[in-house]
Chain A
Amino acid sequence: MSEKRIEDQYPKTTVLKDGTKVVLKAMTHNDWEGLREFFARIPEEDRKFLKHDVSKREVIDSWLKDINYGRVLPLLAEVNGKIVGDATLHRRSSGWLKHVGEVRLVIDPAYRRKGLGSHMLEELILIAVDAGLEKLVAEIVAEEKAAIRAFRRFNFEQVAVLPGIVKDQDGRHQDLVVMVLDVSTALLPDWYYY
């Protein structure tokens, strides 16, 4: 199956349950300011659990420096021109994990519980399927129970917990939950299981 070009699929408009109109698009160099602003809106207690310290300019700089959708595809959700969600799919071009993609998701608190996170995750799963990926991995700090529940709803299963392995921005060690979705079963309708 040939991969549809990301550029041809996005931007896309979608509507959330509450009627909010959202534009989904792939990140470009022009999103520097928008991303800075977006991450500034993420509360401290969530930001400290992110893989990268997004309060540092150089972190966002490094993302925009070598944009390569084949390696890292950052899907952004915009409402009235403001970034409110960032969902990224990370892939490898070769090796033993070539069939595995990693997903990361950050949603503006003001836009949570509206189905935006689920919507973006579903987009990434469709992109992953189209790209021929077989598994998706999500790494979530154990304290982020809501995030873990959200991934669970998409049939991600907890495959490991690494105790105290990561260090948050406050310097505290946190347990990391590793969740995996077998993409080949993701598309099966519910009735298949019964």
Chain B
Amino acid sequence: MIKRYPKRAKLRDGTQATLRLMVKKDQHALYEFFQRVPKEDRLFLRDDVSKPATIQSWVDDLDYERVLPLLVLVDGRVVGDATLHRRRLGWTRHLGKVRLVIDPQYRQKGLGSLLVKELIEIGKGLKLERLVVELTGGQQAALVAFRHLGFERAAVLYRHVKDRAGRPQDLVILIRDLEEEPEPISF
């Protein structure tokens, strides 16, 4: 599975990008990347990425079996980070949780979809049964994008999470079956 990377990819606007798994030496580049991402878009992250110590602990405890971070680089800079979270033991050992962060300057270029498609293939390779992603009700574009990738709404927790201003937002849980291909959406 690791042999798939690094990979070259061309974004919708022709930009050349490289996809590869995160390694220890990416610490600084990753920290810089998160500095470029508005706090609003980082709220779903469990850790406070504005602290260098957080990224430090990530690289210190790098374990692809628990957290598999796939990075997209353009001209040596990290512009996208998609991670697949797993638990080796317990009742969610057959699931993978997806977390996705894209540099604001690289949105609307198909980058998010590209990364998620990679995680879907990785998930299948790892024999996971489903992928889970959590979004807020306000993230309309992301909700549509994930729908196109075969994710379906499994639940909406009303006003469960808070945005940066402290306002309650709905938490939408989407699930993508990896064992059975979902019906493609036709328009």
Contact = CB atoms under 8 A, between A and B. Distances in A.
Contacts of A162: 154-155, 173, 175
Give chain B's interface residue range (CB within 8 Å of chain A): 20 to 34
A51 B163 contact: no
Nearest to B164: A96
B95 A165 contact: yes
Contacts of A161: 155
Contact of A52 (B47, B90, B158, B161): B90
A159 interface: yes
A93 B43 CA distance: 11
A52 B44 contact: no
Contact of A167 (B43, B47, B93, B162): B93
A124 interface: no
A94 B48 contact: yes
B154 A95 contact: no
B171 to A, nearest CB: 8
A100 B155 contact: no
Contact of A180 (B130, B160, B162): B160
Interface string B86-130: 000111111100000000000000000000000000000000001
A135 B157 CA distance: 12
A96 B44 contact: yes
A105 interface: no
Contact of A165 (B45, B158, B161, B175): B175
Contacts, number: 73
Contact of B91 (A92, A97, A168): A168
A94 B157 contact: no
Interface in A143-183: 159-163, 165-168, 174, 178, 180
B46 A92 contact: yes
A160 B4 CA distance: 38
Contacts of A94: 45-48
B136 interface: yes
A166 B130 CA distance: 10
B160 A167 contact: no
Interface in A83-105: 92-100
Contacts of A52: 89-91
A95 to B, nearest CB: 5
Given A59-B89, A167-B93, A167-B94, A96 B161 contact: yes
B154 to A, nearest CB: 6
A56 interface: yes
Contact of A95 (B44, B89, B92): B44
Interface string B62-96: 00000000000000000000000000011111110
Interface of A: 49-53, 56, 58-59, 92-100, 135, 159-163, 165-168, 174, 178, 180
